[in-house]
Amino acid sequence: MKKFISFLLTLTIIIGQGSIIFAEKNDKGKVDIESKSAVLMDASTGKVLYEKNCHEKLPPASVTKVMTLLLICEALESGKIKENDDVQISETASSMGGSQVFLEPGEIQKVDTLVKSIAVASANDACVAMAEYVGGSVEEFVDLMNNRAKELNMKDTHFANTNGLPVDNHYTSAYDIALMSKELLRHKKISKYLTTWMDEVVVGKKKAKIGISNTNKLVKHYAGATGVKTGFTQEAKYCLSASALRNNTHLIAVTLCAETSPIRFKDATTLLNYGFANYESVKVCSANEKITTVKFEKGSKENVDLVSKDDLTVLIKKGDSKDFTKKVQVRKDLSLPIKANSDLGVVKVYKGKELVGETRIVNTEDIDKASYGEMLRRVVDKLL
């Protein structure tokens, strides 16, 4: 009996810490969510599988950093910045309160270290340092954040800073957070940071080692977790964007304004469990898979293969038919020359009459204009 009581006490303590999270449904079998706002989205297609007040404008706290990380990833991929670049820490960056890695003014840090500090430790000081480095100033970087939000069709969002510290006119919605989380997860390099549970960074002029641990507990406690970001302020309460991947199905669960930290993790787990239990992703085509061939009569190469730019997966309810129809649309306004990896059209996937997925199609090599000699040879070949 004593052993049984001890077991119950231990289990109660673990649950209180949020380490074990149970998915819950109400008596009608519907998803039961306590957070004020929530959404479950398919990371591949953007399809919404569940929502609760998902367009309500709310403060996101540190979940703001999803957009900060997205802009950094895009700057890295474009070659504007590199992981081993040196970044000098400003007085402004080092003065940030809240979550931080205690950067000192004047010290030099690598981009790689600062990105790790943001993704794992939710470091406000590292956010400002990277905003200044990428945007030139915090103000210009915030403008970039808002411009990118518009491009992603985030209609419920306005950013006023890079890190989510309390400030007027800084808000977003669960739906918009899912949109920017979906875009961030497309960048494979960020995965190693978003899924790191514990690490260390060397900071300060004295090169002190400090341990950092991921604020997203699902990274350790939920199978297949791939990210993304937590947040907390007194105004925003407990916020979370959580993602997980199982058998090609990649889901994003966002919960905002939960009363406690365990509630946000429980709600996110409930949503993810619901998604994985009821839906599955079917891969229709892989990245770089040949989709069609286009004829360029005046091109250096007459017949050019176009391939899928990304993996194309379709989310369906488990047990549904897996019969799909692919329709390829090639742009009509193409003119030579065309650089490699240009968007030349789209492949759309239908289930019956419903559009269930699409991706861009691109060329894998440059397409130049054919020389006069090449054009003459083709005319002769046709005559013969």
Do 168 and 211 lie in one domain? The reply is: yes
Q: Is residue 320 part of a domain?
A: yes
Q: For 94-103, 215-224, 269-278, which range has the lowest pLDDT when averaged over its residues?
A: 94-103
Greater confidence (320 vs 54) lies with 54
Q: pLDDT tens-digit profile of 132-188?
A: 999 999 999 999 999 999 999 999 999 999 999 999 999 999 999 999 999 999 998
Three-class SS state of 97: coil
- What six digits make up the tokens of 352? 């019956």
322 close to 295: Cβ distance less than 8 angstroms: no
pLDDT, position 143: 98
In a domain, 6, yes or no: no
Note the pLDDT of residue 327.
93
Distance (Å) of CA 324 to CA 115, 149, 278, 281, 329: 40, 32, 19, 13, 16
Q: How far is CA 218 from the centre of its chain?
A: 16
Q: Which of 37, 94, 122, 241 is catalytic?
A: 122
Same domain, 216 and 239: yes
CATH of the domain at 31: 3.40.710.10
Q: What's this model's pTM, rounded to 2 decimal places? A: 0.83
Q: Is the pLDDT of residue 3 over 50?
A: no
At residue 369, the pLDDT reads 87
Position 372 scores a pLDDT of 79
Distance between CA atoms of residues 363 and 340, nearest Å? 6
Q: What percent of the chain has pLDDT over 70?
A: 92
pLDDT winner (highest mean) among 8-17, 131-140, 197-206, 359-368: 131-140
Q: Is residue 186 domain-shared with residue 151, that is, in the same domain?
A: yes
8 within a domain of the structure (yes/no):
no
**Is there a domain that residue 343 lies in?**
yes
Indicate the pLDDT class of residue 357, thresholds 50, 70 and 90: confident
CATH number of the CATH domain containing 331: 2.60.410.10
Going by pLDDT thresholds of 50, 70 and 90, the confidence category of residue 246 is very high
Q: Is the residue at 4 inside a domain?
A: no
Q: 323-341, pLDDT tens digit by residue?
A: 899 999 999 888 889 999 9
Closest to 127 in 3D by CA, of 89, 85, 74:
89
Q: Return the closest-CA partner of residue 185 out of 238, 247, 231, 253.
A: 253
The mean predicted confidence, pLDDT, of the chain is: 89
pLDDT at 239 over 70: yes
Name the band, by pLDDT with cuts 50, 70 and 90, for residue 93: very high
Domain ranges, residue 379: 286-383
Taking alpha carbons only, the member of 351, 282, 353, 344 closest to residue 312 is 282
- Residue 161 burial (10 A CB sphere; 0-12, 13-18, 19+): buried
Are 297 and 253 found together in one domain?
Answer: no
Task: Give the separation between CA 226 and CA 192, rounded to whole angstroms.
Answer: 9
Average pLDDT over residues 214-236: 96
164 and 52 belong to one structural domain: yes
Residue 325 pLDDT: 92
Quick one: 292 and 260 in the same domain?
Answer: no
- So what's the pLDDT on residue 19? 32
Question: Residue 69 — very low, low, confident or very high, per pLDDT cuts 50/70/90?
Answer: very high
| Strand partners for 338 | 367
Does the pLDDT value for residue 22 go beyond 50?
Answer: no
**60 and 163 inside one domain:** yes
211 phi, psi to nearest 5 deg: -80, 145
Does residue 334 or residue 41 have the better pLDDT? 41
- Could you tell me if residue 60 is left (phi over 0), alpha (psi between -120 and 50 degrees) or otherwise beta? alpha
Q: Which is catalytic among the residues 35, 37, 52, 65?
A: 65
Specify whether 184 is located in the same domain as 137: yes
44 is catalytic: no
227 and 374 co-located in one domain: no
Is a pLDDT exceeding 90 seen at residue 360?
yes
Higher confidence at residue 298 or residue 113?
113
Assess whether 271 and 293 both reside in one domain: no
For residue 371, tell me if it sits in a domain: yes
Give the count of beta carbons closer than 10 Å to the beta carbon of residue 107: 16
Is 13's pLDDT higher than 70?
Answer: no
User: Where among 254, 279, 304 does a domain terminate?
Assistant: 279
- Domain endpoint, select from 259, 279, 299: 279
Neighbouring C-alpha atoms within 13 Å toward the C-beta of 63: 36
Q: Could you tell me which of 239, 272, 209 has the C-alpha nearest to residue 65?
A: 239
Q: Is the pLDDT of residue 195 over 90?
A: yes
Residue percentage of the chain with pLDDT more than 90? 73
Domain count for the chain: 2
Give 373's pLDDT tier (boundaries 50, 70, 90): confident
Domain boundary among 249, 279, 309: 279
Residue 298: its pLDDT value, please?
Answer: 86
The answer to whether the bond into 337 is cis (omega within 30° of 0) is: yes
Pairing relationship of beta strands 86-88 and 290-295 according to DSSP bridges: unpaired
Asked whether residue 47 is domain-assigned, the answer is yes
Cα angle at 128 between 94 and 150, to 5 degrees? Answer: 165
Q: So what's the pLDDT on residue 140?
A: 98
Phi, psi of 273 (to 5 degrees): -60, -40
> Both 232 and 347 in a single domain?
no
pLDDT of residue 257: 97
| Residue with the larger pLDDT of the pair 319 and 253 | 253
Coil, helix or strand at residue 267: helix
Q: Considering the domain boundaries, does residue 274 fall inside one? A: yes
On the question of pLDDT at 15 being above 60, the answer is: no
Count Cβ neighbours within 10 Å for each residue of 225-239 and write b for 16 or more, e otherwise.
bbbbbbbbbeebbbb
Greatest pairwise CA separation for the chain in angstroms: 97
- Do both 324 and 183 map to the same domain? no
What pLDDT score was predicted for residue 214? Answer: 95
Residue 62 annotated among the catalytic residues of the structure: yes
